Amino acid sequence: MAPRRPGAALAAALPSAAAFLLLLLLPPSPLLAAAGLSGYFGTKSRYEEVNPHLVHDPLSLGPGAAGARLPAACAPLQLRALLRHGTRYPTAGQIRRLGQLHARLRRRPAAAACPAAAALAAWQMWYEESLDGRLAPQGRRDMEQLARRLAARFPALFAARRRLLLASSSKHRCLQSGAAFRRGLGPSLSLGTDGKRGPPEVNDSLMRFFDHCAKFVAWVEENDAAMCQVDAFKEGPEMRKVLEKVASALCLPAEELNADLVQVAFLTCSYELAIKNVTSPWCSLFSEEDAKVLEYLNDLKQYWKRGYGYDINSRSSCILFQDIFQHLDKAVEESKSSKPISSPLIVQVGHAETLQPLLALMGFFKDDEPLKANNYVRQAHRKFRSGRIVPYAANLVFVLYHCDQVKTSKEEYQVQMLLNEKPMLFHHSNETTSTYADLKDYYKDILENCHFKEECELPKVNVTAVDEL
C-alpha cells in the first residue's frame, strides 16, 4: 500500500472544493500516480510489486517469513540462491528507440490541443546509450537489502566465518549485483576456497546456459518464425486500439507509430519509476487497461522465448537444475558422514532468462492453455505473469535442512523453495516442505535423462527450425 501523500489528512478535513485545490498544489506521489500501471510492467517490474511491505521497510521479512519456518528440530544445512540482477537501466536499443520517438515529438510544433505531446517534448531525455543495461543505484540497494533479509532469515547459515560461493553471469549488471549482495552481508563471511574478496566468479555455462545451447539459439533466439504469436499480437485488435489511442494523444498519425515504439514509451514509464521512483510524463499516455495489453505483449515474448512455448527453452536449463541437486547431494553426504558442509552458501547471479526457463522446467506457472495472440481475454487470470515471477532482483532459493526427532530416515533431510522470499508449494505434495528423497524422485527424469549436450545439439539432418517448432 502506498504511503499517504503529504497533507492528505488536512485535505480530508476541508470542504471538498478546497480539498481538491490543495491536492492540486501538492507534489504528485510516484507510488500513487503510477499505482494503476506498476503492476503490469512485466520483467521491468520493481521487486516491491511482489513484496509491497518493502516500500515501508526494505529490511522487513514480511508476512511470508513465518510460513517458511520448519520445526525447531530442523537446522538448515545449505542455501542455494539464484538471483536476477537488480534494477537496471534500459538497453542501448531501447534508448535509441526512445530517442527517436522523443526527437519526433520535439520536431512537431507545440499545440494547445496536444498537451501530452508538449509535456513529452519538454521532458529531459537523460538516457545515454552508454548506460546500456547497466545496474542502477537502486539495483545495488536491491541486492544489499536482499542479502540482509536472507541473512536475517537464516542466521545460522550466514554466521561469521561461513563459506560463501559467489558466482555470476559475465554481464556487468550481474557482477555488480553480486558485489552488492556481498556488501550487504558485511565483512564476516569468507569467500570461495581462498577467502579472497575479489569479484564474483564468472560462470556463464550455468548463468547464461541459453547462449551455449546451439538448438535454442538457432531455433528460437535467431528464428523470426519462433515469435509468430508475439508478432501477431502486435498487429492484433488489442494492440491496434492502444496504438491509436497513443497516436491520438500525441497528435501523430497512427502510421508513424508501431507496437515497438508504444512499448518503449510504456517501458520508459516503468524505468522512471524503478530507477528514480518518479512518475514519468510517459505514464500519462496509458490507462490500466492499456497496461494490461502491454503486459500481455511482454508475457507472450517471455512465454515463447523463455517459457513453455518450446521445449528447448526449459530443457536447456537442465544443466543448472542438475548442478543444484549435485550440491544438495554433496551436502547430504557430508552430513551423513558427520563432516562440515563444504558449501553452506551458494549464491549465483543471472538474469530473468536464467530463472524463467528453470521454473518452466520444474513445471511452475503453467497454464492449461498456451498464451497466444488470439486468447488475450481468456488469459486475463493466467498464472504466467512475468512481473510476478521474475521482476528485478527476483530470487529462487533452495534450502536443505537436517531434521532430528523424525519417524523415518527419509524425513531426516527436507527441502524448501522460496520464490521472491515466499515459500512455494511443491507439485508432488502441495506442501511448502518436501523430503529431499521425494523431491528427487519427482524430478527423477530430468535429473537422470536430461543431458545438456544432447538436448542442445543441432540435428545433423537438414531439418528446418520452422518444421521442428
Cβ neighbours, 10 Å, residue 339 = 10
Q: Cβ(79)–Cβ(154) under 8 Å?
A: yes
Distances (CA, A) of 221 to 44, 188, 206, 232, 353: 20, 42, 18, 18, 12
The dihedral built from the CA positions of residue 202, 207, 210 and 213, taken in this order, carries a sign that is positive
Catalytic status, residue 85: yes
Give me the residue label for grid cell 556463464: 204
Q: Cβ(350)–Cβ(169) under 8 Å?
A: yes
Q: How many residues does the chain have?
A: 469
E-only strand ranges, 16-116: 74-84
Cβ neighbours, 10 Å, residue 259 = 19
Q: Return d(Cα 376, Cα 57) in angstroms, integer.
A: 36
- Of 230, 298, 227, 223, nearest to 264 by C-alpha is 298
**Per DSSP, what are the bridge partners of residue 74?**
403
**Per DSSP, what are the bridge partners of residue 346?**
80, 165
Which cell is 88 given?
A: 537496471
Q: Return d(Cα 382, Cα 40) in angstroms, integer.
A: 13
Residue 173 CA from chain centroid, whole number? 14
Q: Which residues are CB-neighbours of 340 under 8 A, at least 6 positions away? A: 334
Candidates 53, 56, 85, 402; catalytic one: 85
Q: Return d(Cα 271, Cα 88) in angstroms, integer.
A: 8
Cβ neighbours, 10 Å, residue 372 = 17
SS3 (DSSP) at 102 = helix
Q: Cβ(286)–Cβ(232) under 8 Å?
A: no
Q: Return d(Cα 281, Cα 192) in angstroms, integer.
A: 46
Which cell is 427 given?
A: 507439485
Residue numbers annotated as active site: 85
